Amino acid sequence: MNKCEILAPAGSMESVIAATRTGADAVYIGAKDFSARASAENFSIDEIKSVCAYCRERNVKVYLTLNTLIFDNELKDALTLCQKAYKAGIDAVIVQDLGLARLIKKSMPDLPLHASTQMSVHTPEGAKALKELGFKRVVLSRELSKAEIKEIADATDIELEVFVHGALCMSVSGQCYFSAMLGSRSGNRGRCAQPCRLPFKLKGGNGYALSLKDSSLVTYLKELEEMGVKSAKIEGRMKRPEYVSVAVKACREGLDEGRVSDKTRETLKSVFSRTGFTDGYYKGKRDKNLFGYRQKEDVTSATDKLFSEIRNSYKDEIKAVGLDMSLSLKCGEKAELKVTDGINTVTVYSETAAEIAKSSPSSKESTEKNLAKTGGTPYFLKDFDFSTDDKAIIPASSLNAMRREALEKLGIIRGQAPEAYILPVEFSKTGTKSASTAKTFSARFADTDVPEDFKEAERIFLPLFAPLNEYERLIKNNFNVCAEIPRGMFGIENQIKIRLAELKKIGVKAVLASNIGAVSLAKKMGFEVHGGFGLNITNTESLVAYEQMGLKSAELSFELKGSQIKELGGSIPRGIIAAGYLPLMLVRACPNLNSSVKCSTCTGNTKMQDRLGENFILKCDGNCTEVLNSVYLSLCNEIDIFCGLDFFTFRFSVENSVEKVENIRSFSSKHHIFSKITRGLYQRGVK
Instruction: Please list the rounded mean pLDDT of every run of 10 residues in the chain (687 residues).
Output: 93 96 97 72 91 97 96 96 97 97 98 98 98 98 98 97 96 96 92 92 89 96 97 94 96 95 93 90 94 84 90 94 96 96 96 90 93 95 95 93 97 95 96 84 97 96 98 97 97 98 98 98 98 98 97 97 95 96 96 84 83 93 94 92 93 96 92 89 92
What is the number of residues in the chain? 687
Pairing of strands 355-356, 392-393: antiparallel
Q: Report which residue type is found at 564.
A: Q
| Distance from the first to the final alpha carbon of the chain | 45
Number of continuous H segments (helices) and E segments (strands) in the chain: 21, 31
248 vs 224: CA distance, rounded Å = 16
Kindly list the strands in the beta sheet with 334-340, ordered across the sheet, starting from the edge strand earlier in the chain: 345-353, 334-340, 321-329, 379-388
**How many beta carbons lie within 10 A of that of residue 498, not counting itself?**
11
Side-chain half-sphere CA neighbours of 520 within 13 A: 17
Query: Which strand (E) or helix (H) includes residue 113?
Result: strand 113-115
Instruction: Look at the pTM and tell me if it is higher than 0.75.
Output: yes
541 vs 521: CA distance, rounded Å = 22
17 vs 127: CA distance, rounded Å = 33
Pairing of strands 615-620, 605-610: antiparallel
Q: What percent of the chain is modeled with pLDDT above 90?
A: 87
**Nearby residues of 375 by Cβ (< 8 Å), 6 or more positions away:** 316
The SS3 assignment for 381 reads: strand
Question: Residues 496-522: pLDDT tens digits?
Answer: 999 999 999 999 999 999 999 999 999
Residue 36, pLDDT score: 59
| Secondary structure percentages of the chain, helix, strand, coil, to 5 | 35, 25, 40
Question: Residues 346-377: pLDDT tens digits?
Answer: 999 999 999 998 889 999 999 999 999 999 99
Question: Residues 371-411: pLDDT tens digits?
Answer: 999 999 999 999 999 999 999 999 999 999 999 999 999 99
**Nearby residues of 559 by Cβ (< 8 Å), 6 or more positions away:** 69, 177, 180, 186, 188, 189, 536, 538, 681, 685, 686
- Nearest to 14, CA basis, from 29, 31, 34: 29
The SS3 assignment for 9 reads: strand
Contact 685, 184 (CB under 8 A): yes
Residue 298, pLDDT score: 76
DSSP sequence for 557-606: PTTS-HHHHHT--SSS-EEEEEEE--EEEEESS-GGGGSS--TTT--SEE
- Nearest to 686, CA basis, from 191, 8, 26: 191
Query: Which strand (E) or helix (H) includes residue 651?
Result: strand 647-651
Backbone angles phi, psi at 39, to 5 degrees: -85, -10
Question: Residues 632-677: pLDDT tens digits?
Answer: 999 999 898 899 999 999 999 999 999 999 999 999 898 888 889 9
Give residue 60's Cα distance to chain centre. Answer: 20
Q: Report which residue type is found at 687.
A: K
Q: Report which residue type is found at 685.
A: G
Task: Indicate the average pLDDT of the chain.
Answer: 94
Contact 9, 28 (CB under 8 A): yes
The SS3 assignment for 176 reads: coil
